[in-house]
Amino acid sequence: MPKIGHIVTRPGRREQDPPVEIPVAEELETVPGIPKHESDLEFYSREYPLETINIDERASRDWANRIRDGHLEMREIRREHDRLNKPIVMAGRMTGEMEPTSEPVGEDITELIKAKARSLGFGEVGITRYDHHYTYVSKKDWVKFPHAICLAYEQDYEPTQSIPSVPAEIVHSSTYRTEGAAGLELGNYIRSLGYRAQVHSPNDNTGPYIPMFVEAGLGQLGANGQLLSPHFGSRARLMVITTDAAVSYDKPVDYGIHQFCNICQVCANRCPGRAIIRDKIWWRGAEKNKLIFKRCRPVMARYLGCGICMKVCPIQKYGMKPVMEHYISTGEVLGKGTNGLEGYELHDQGYFGPGELPTFDGQFFNMPHGKAEDWVFEQFKEKLVAAGGVETAAGDDAIEEFKDKLSMALALDQDAFGMGDDENPDYI
């Protein structure tokens, strides 16, 4: 049987719950947080800064949205979400300019912020330095304050277990709105204590947030590319508030997840797109399982945002404490190989239990790539070659079509008020 290496004590799931103790097996111990090469992280963020895939992969985003809009019920749900969410996002964008509403209390307000966050329904809250290594190019001048309050809002359990499904998509979007509104309220509270607070709405990310959540000790990065937090794994929506308040930083924690995922591998086994690689690699200065975007997006587009990698994760389904206790008493992964954990249904393909996966032909994975305008240019080049050059009637047609499509691509609203893809850090 594995021996206990150390025990992590964390606040309970709800505000009123007692703390929980999570045993971490000695053989799962690695480092607190995530293994990193700081110099590589520094180099990549300086020379190859990140951009949101809502911009960098806009061509496939528009393509995916057209496919998603073919599902009429989901189209209405998405439109309703966008309509309700837009004021929340816009309100967040203004918060960086808002002045405090009282004089500073003059002492460390970490515990006040955490208590207020918990009372507003956030299941996890931690504080760390805002890490500009991850800020998107398009947001680099937006972030004003040095400290990041990392906030996770739990998504309802039952609908999430039916992923991929309409009920799961409904709860996905409504959790974002509830969280966004709670974040605005927390910002008001911090201002009432005499400090500034900039609310980064959860559908308007300034960068991938998971590295800061890991740094704040709220979980570790799972093989599925998501934050595995103690109580609900990745069944949560994340947001950040930056502030100039007097606060203390939390520390990263070794929950044993970095190594546990190497043993578990359920998400890699169950991913319909085979988009999750089994072995960790070094990517932009961190060691992780890099997701393959071009194998994931086509599945997400056709199967209600997919999310099977969230649904089948034992930490999501059972919580970290039962999973780690089970591992220590049996050496096994709780639920692995069972229909309850691993099974899922795809609307046009039927049910897939453990060991069963759908198959897709190569055509299934064909999709536009890059920025919208880059993709228009790619298509134009192909058409021109097929037309035999510009000095032909077909070449003239290709030029006219190119002009129309390019102006449409450049006119596209780059703002996203809906459910973006930035929540998944391993896309970038």
Q: Does 315 bind ligand SF4 (CB under 6 A)?
A: yes
Q: Does 379 bind ligand SF4 (CB under 6 A)?
A: no
Q: Minimum Å distance from CB 397 to ligand SF4?
A: 37
**Closer CB to ligand SF4, 145 or 365, in the complex:** 365
User: Interface mask (CB under 6 A) for ligand SF4, residues 143-182, using x and -?
Assistant: ----------------------------------------
Out of 227, 275, 376, 428, the only residue in the binding site for ligand SF4 (CB under 6 A) is 275
**Closer CB to ligand SF4, 25 or 190, in the complex:** 25
Q: Minimum Å distance from CB 306 to ligand SF4?
A: 3
How many residues bind ligand SF4 (CB under 6 A)? The answer is 27
Q: Minimum Å distance from CB 371 to ligand SF4?
A: 22
One-letter amino acid of 411: A
Q: Does 301 bind ligand SF4 (CB under 6 A)?
A: no
Q: Does 313 bind ligand SF4 (CB under 6 A)?
A: yes
Q: Which stretch binds ligand SF4 (CB under 6 A): 119-127, 246-254, 269-277, 411-419?
A: 269-277
User: Interface mask (CB under 6 A) for ligand SF4, residues 225-264, using x and -?
Assistant: ---x-------------------------------xx--x
**Closer CB to ligand SF4, 139 or 274, in the complex:** 274
Rounded distance, CA 43 to CA 23, Å? 36
Report the 3 state secondary structure along the chain: CCCEEEEEEECCCCCCCCCEEEEEEHHHCCCCCCCECHHHHHHHHHHCCCCCHHHHCHHHHHHHHHHHCCCHHHHHHHHHHHHHHHHHHHHHHHHHHCCCCCCCCCCCCHHHHHHHHHHCCCCEEEEEECCHHHCCHHHCCCCCCCEEEEEEEECCHHHHCCCCCHHHHHHHHHHHHHHHHHHHHHHHHHHHCCCCEEEECCCCCCCCCHHHHHHCCCCEECCCCCEEECCCECCEEEEEEEECCCCCCCCCCCCCHHHHHHHHCHHHHHCCCCCECCCCEEECCEEECCECHHHHHHHHHHCCCCCHHHHCCHHHHHCHHHHHHHHHHHCCCCCCCCHHHHCEEECCCEEECCCCCCCCCHHHHCCCCCCHHHHHHHHHHHHHHHHCCCCCHHHHHHHHHHHHHHHHHHHCCCCCCCCCCCCCHHHC
**Closer CB to ligand SF4, 189 or 327, in the complex:** 327
Out of 25, 181, 182, 271, the only residue in the binding site for ligand SF4 (CB under 6 A) is 271
Q: Does 273 bind ligand SF4 (CB under 6 A)?
A: yes
Q: Minimum Å distance from CB 5 to ligand SF4?
A: 18
Out of 34, 89, 247, 291, the only residue in the binding site for ligand SF4 (CB under 6 A) is 291
Q: Does 214 bind ligand SF4 (CB under 6 A)?
A: no
- Beta-bridged to residue 82, according to DSSP, are none
Rounded distance, CA 328 to CA 4, Å? 7
Out of 8, 212, 286, 308, the only residue in the binding site for ligand SF4 (CB under 6 A) is 308
Euclidean distance between the first and final Cα of the chain, in Å?
38
Q: Minimum Å distance from CB 303 to ligand SF4?
A: 7
Q: Which stretch binds ligand SF4 (CB under 6 A): 92-100, 171-179, 203-211, 303-311?
A: 303-311
Q: Does 307 bind ligand SF4 (CB under 6 A)?
A: yes
Positions in the binding site for ligand SF4 (CB under 6 A): 222-224, 228, 260-261, 264-267, 271-273, 275-276, 291, 296, 299-300, 306-309, 312-315
